[in-house]
A = this chain, B = another copy of it.
Amino acid sequence: MSNSSSKQKLNVSIYGQQYLITGDESTEHIRHVASIVDEKMKEINHKNPFLDTNKLAVLTAVNIVSDYVKLRERAEQLETLLKEAKSEKENND
């Protein structure tokens, strides 16, 4: 998703600022994503009330990427387990 001028456009509010988000995704997906970022920024601000908004946003991105990397490892594990289960099934058929 980006805020460049093409595709579907949607105005969302994140941490008191308006953002024009564009993308191929559904409006439901974009609103859901915006609400997660908004909540995460509020949560991190609550823990670190003296951070400026810029650092808060970067730290929010850091937290989300950390979760993303862990989830990607889990998804890779699941892909491997699924392949193993499938090949075991084929050998038994």
Contacts and interface: CB of A to CB of B under 8 A. Distances in A.
Interface string A61-88: 1111111110110110011011001101
B55 A17 contact: yes
Interface of A: 1-4, 14-15, 17, 19, 21, 23, 25, 29-30, 32-34, 36-37, 40-41, 44, 47-48, 51, 53-55, 57-69, 71-72, 74-75, 78-79, 81-82, 85-86, 88-89, 92
Given A61-B64, A85-B86, 8 more contacts: A3-B51, A3-B59, A37-B65, A41-B58, A57-B61, A58-B60, A68-B71, A82-B85
Main SS at interface, chain A? helix
